């Protein structure tokens, strides 16, 4: 057995991933163990988990691969500061001590930390991948394709911000690149910052806000901020930004262009202006990626496309690419951000450096195993943890647990669902989920305000039986990782009255758009997850029971956490979240818990437990 360990750390979303003879064995983000969202520290707990899952120690691992090259990143940082001196001095002054203390000497730091697990570990066993190679490898090698184009778009790696690659068999070749400071990811983050959301975590809020607005400022962005070419290549007008050298994303000139100051988070209200700004940058982003993908297909004439990098989490843009029809199939790495770089770094080393052959998965599957790559707990472990916490629960057969849970959903209850292995990536996919009835007109607002403790406009995703997806959504392709947005089919939509059509902004939220209003956005779209019996038979069985009772093969699926909290990892995490929110039923392994049966003294104040994201 040959093991390769991949690590991403010290920038965003630290993680570890383990390959055994090239097969993906385990992967997890550090945040799930430390309970610190987007934890960027050394992934000590993640490494411990993947090794324990394999039943090995670090001495059994042949090679450890880090997901980027810090010296190249430092070179970019230093050259940028020199080129723009003296304007970036405050940022330079803040960044340099961190680089000199930790990142510049990352190799020795990593070797020292790895020696804590294996005293005989040497630097010869530590390799470094390039950032976008790691992203591209994570997108292509687990995909179901023998050959594909690979598009990776993020904020910035070492120098690269966008890369087009060609994957075939066990090879991966970068064809084209766009370099810092010209970055679609940073452009989107600049508007995230401008609208008062947190950079590197609030981008999905901006995407969720966009359908409430009109793209009134899209042409302003195209005329002034980004020079976008027909082939999707672009340059950003740096006179509007401060991210290259400053401590802010945008400057006064940017604010003057759009006529409003930066929104102060948690203080300034979200207005129609912010919704229109969100709609505008979303439209520009979609135009950028569509020009890229159309030009790539025209030049290379391949049928398959793989996506990774933070921008690949923009599921609205992904849906547009798929519906554009240039590519027959589109596959997105579920851990598309930096966490997935840990997996890609290991895969790039295994296939490209060691020249190991690639085994394609069975038809209609991929090598990510549904992204269920994290820890799991057997029923006895769960029962022991719950008993120690003072929980009141009933242990049931699998059949009875499914029936009890399905009935709770039919009765309109919010259900915590903790089953099997934890998901790798930012989406809960039926392993660590909060579930509800999508037919309820009040469920979206109820879940946002009373369970998730977050903004009321935030949309929820539908989990739908894979074999029924085409009956409910305008989608023929599988979407197992909740990374494709598709429209609800016309026969399930509700006609809008003239008064409804005249509504603006957040007022649209309260108008039911379909027979499954809890998962239908204001533009009739939904972020679809197809549930497959091959990768998650228990979740598939639950939705099937719900369908048998209601005729609806769809459930609301949102991550098992509150705003600012990482998705739950352990039974203890799940119970604390259950007791800190208005989740009414918890199905965890073969144990079922009902809220009113619990000791009220165990209830926690979850509204202030985690830093807001």
Task: Please state whether beta strands 554-559 and 432-436 pair in parallel, antiparallel, or not at all (unpaired).
Answer: antiparallel
The whole-angstrom separation of Cα 477 and Cα 284 is 25
Backbone angles phi, psi at 161, to 5 degrees: -115, -25
Residue with token string 């091959």:
534
As a CATH number, domain 184-331 is: 3.30.420.40
pLDDT at 78: 52
Handedness of CA 114, 115, 121, 124 (dihedral sign): positive
pLDDT digits (tens, 9 = 90+) for 453-488: 777 777 789 999 999 999 999 999 999 999 999 999
H/E segment holding residue 348: helix 338-348
pLDDT at 402 over 70: yes
Q: What angle do CA 509, 322, 131 make, to 5 degrees?
A: 100
**Helix, strand or coil for residue 599?**
coil
Q: What angle do CA 543, 548, 553 make, to 5 degrees?
A: 40
Average pLDDT, the chain: 91
pLDDT at 244: 63
The whole-angstrom separation of Cα 424 and Cα 417 is 16
Do the domains 379-608 and 3-143+334-369 match in fold? no
Residue with token string 């023929």:
476
pLDDT at 85: 47
pLDDT at 25 over 50: yes
The answer to whether residues 7 and 16 touch, using CB atoms and an 8 Å cutoff, is: yes
**Helix, strand or coil for residue 423?**
strand
Neighbours of 272 (CB within 10 A): 15
Which of 231-245, 403-417, 590-604 bottoms out in mean pLDDT, i.e. has the lowest? 231-245
Report the DSSP beta bridge partners of residue 487.
525
pLDDT digits (tens, 9 = 90+) for 503-546: 666 667 677 889 999 999 989 999 999 999 999 999 999 999 99
pLDDT at 604: 81
Handedness of CA 574, 583, 212, 290 (dihedral sign): positive
Which of 137-151, 245-259, 362-376, 407-421 bottoms out in mean pLDDT, i.e. has the lowest? 245-259
pLDDT digits (tens, 9 = 90+) for 195-214: 999 988 889 899 999 999 99
pLDDT digits (tens, 9 = 90+) for 76-131: 555 554 455 445 545 555 555 554 555 557 888 999 999 999 999 999 999 999 99
The whole-angstrom separation of Cα 229 and Cα 328 is 25
pTM over 0.85: yes
Residue ranges with strand state E in 207-291: 226-228, 234-236
Q: Is 363 exposed, middle or buried (0-12, 13-18, 19+ CB in 10 A)?
A: exposed
Domain boundaries, the chain: 3-143+334-369, 184-331, 379-608
As a CATH number, domain 3-143+334-369 is: 3.30.420.40
The whole-angstrom separation of Cα 188 and Cα 359 is 36
pLDDT at 380: 97
The whole-angstrom separation of Cα 196 and Cα 13 is 21
Give CA separation, 112 vs 78, 108, 469, 539, in Å. 26, 6, 50, 42
Comparing CA positions, the residue from 597, 567, 603 lying closest to residue 39 is: 567
pLDDT at 104: 58
Kindly state the average pLDDT of the residues 24-38.
97
The answer to whether residues 558 and 606 touch, using CB atoms and an 8 Å cutoff, is: no
pLDDT digits (tens, 9 = 90+) for 354-381: 999 998 887 778 999 999 999 999 999 9
pLDDT at 606: 77
Superfamily of domain 379-608: Carbamoyltransferase, C-terminal domain (3.90.870.20)
Comparing CA positions, the residue from 227, 224, 225, 204 lying closest to residue 278 is: 204
User: Is residue 87 left, alpha or beta, with left meaning phi > 0 and alpha meaning psi from -120 to 50?
Assistant: alpha
pLDDT digits (tens, 9 = 90+) for 418-450: 999 999 999 999 999 999 999 998 888 788 877
pLDDT digits (tens, 9 = 90+) for 263-295: 998 889 999 999 999 999 999 999 999 999 999
pLDDT at 605: 81
Q: Both tokens of residue 81?
A: 């500061």
pLDDT at 73 over 80: no
Alpha helices in 85-125 (DSSP H): 89-98, 106-115
pLDDT at 72 over 80: no
Which distant-in-sequence residues (6+ apart) come within 8 Å of 405 by Cβ?
A: 415, 417, 435, 542, 545, 585, 587, 592
Kindly state the average pLDDT of the residues 157-167.
92
pLDDT at 398: 98
The whole-angstrom separation of Cα 527 and Cα 561 is 19
Q: Which percentage of the chain shows pLDDT scores above 70?
A: 92
Q: What angle do CA 432, 570, 8 make, to 5 degrees?
A: 80
pLDDT at 610: 79
pLDDT at 550 over 70: yes
């Amino acid at each position: 057995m040959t093991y390769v360990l991949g690590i991403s750390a010290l920038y965003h979303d630290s993680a570890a991933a383990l390959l055994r003879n090239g097969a993906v064995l385990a992967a997890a983000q550090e945040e799930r163990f430390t309970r610190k969202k987007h934890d960027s520290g050394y992934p000590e707990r993640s490494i411990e988990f993947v090794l324990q899952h394999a039943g090995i120690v670090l001495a059994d691992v042949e090679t450890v691969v880090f997901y980027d090259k810090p010296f190249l990143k430092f070179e970019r940082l230093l050259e940028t500061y020199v080129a723009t001196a003296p304007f970036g001095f405050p940022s330079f002054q803040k960044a340099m001590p961190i680089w000199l203390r930790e990142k510049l000497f990352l190799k020795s730091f990593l070797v020292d930390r790895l020696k804590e697990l294996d005293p005989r570990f040497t630097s010869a066993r530590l390799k470094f991948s390039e950032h976008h190679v790691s992203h591209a490898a994570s997108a292509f090698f687990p995909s179901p394709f023998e050959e594909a184009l690979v598009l990776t778009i993020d904020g910035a790696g070492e120098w690269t911000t966008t890369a087009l690659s060609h994957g075939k068999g066990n090879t991966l070749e970068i064809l084209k690149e766009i370099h810092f400071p010209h970055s679609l990811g940073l452009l989107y983050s600049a508007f995230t910052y401008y609208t008062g959301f947190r950079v590197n975590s609030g981008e999905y809020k901006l995407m969720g806000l966009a359908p409430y607005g009109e793209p009134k400022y899209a042409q302003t962005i195209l005329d002034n901020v980004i020079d976008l070419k027909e082939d999707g290549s672009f340059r950003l007008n740096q006179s509007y930004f401060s991210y290259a050298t400053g401590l802010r994303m945008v400057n006064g000139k940017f604010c003057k262009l759009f006529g409003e100051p930066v929104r102060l988070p948690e203080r300034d209200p979200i207005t129609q202006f912010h919704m229109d700004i969100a709609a505008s940058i979303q439209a520009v982003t979609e135009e950028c990626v569509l020009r890229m993908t159309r030009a790539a297909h025209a030049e290379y004439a391949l049928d398959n496309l793989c996506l990774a990098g933070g921008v690949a989490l923009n599921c609205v843009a992904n849906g547009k690419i798929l519906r554009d029809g240039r590519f027959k199939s589109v596959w997105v790495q579920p851990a598309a951000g930096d966490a997935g770089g840990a997996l890609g770094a290991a895969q790039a080393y295994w296939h490209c450096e060691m020249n190991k052959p690639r085994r394609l998965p069975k038809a209609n599957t991929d090598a990510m195993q549904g992204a269920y790559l994290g820890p799991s707990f057997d029923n006895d472990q769960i029962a022991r943890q719950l008993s120690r916490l003072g929980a009141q629960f009933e242990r049931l057969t699998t059949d009875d647990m499914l029936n009890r849970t399905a009935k709770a959903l039919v009765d309109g209850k919010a259900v915590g669902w903790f089953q099997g292995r934890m998901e790798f990536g930012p989406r809960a996919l039926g392993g660590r989920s909060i579930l509800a009835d999508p037919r309820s007109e009040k469920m979206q607002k109820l879940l946002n305000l009373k369970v998730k403790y977050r903004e009321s406009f935030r949309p929820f995703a539908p989990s739908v039986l894979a074999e029924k997806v085409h009956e409910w959504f305008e989608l023929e392709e599988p979407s197992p990782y909740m990374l494709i947005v598709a429209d609800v089919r016309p026969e399930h939509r509700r006609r809008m009255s003239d008064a409804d059509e005249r509504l603006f902004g957040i007022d649209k939220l309260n108008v039911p758009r379909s027979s499954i209003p809890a998962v239908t956005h204001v533009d009739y779209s939904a972020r679809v997850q197809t549930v497959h019996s091959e990768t998650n038979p228990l979740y598939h069985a639950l939705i099937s029971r719900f369908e048998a009772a209601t005729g609806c093969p769809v459930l609301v699926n949102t991550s098992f956490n509150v705003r600012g909290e990482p998705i739950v990892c352990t039974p203890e995490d799940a119970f604390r979240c259950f007791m800190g929110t208005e989740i009414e039923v918890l199905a965890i392994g073969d144990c079922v818990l009902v809220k009113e049966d619990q000791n009220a003294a165990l209830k926690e104040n979850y509204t202030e437990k985690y830093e807001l994201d």
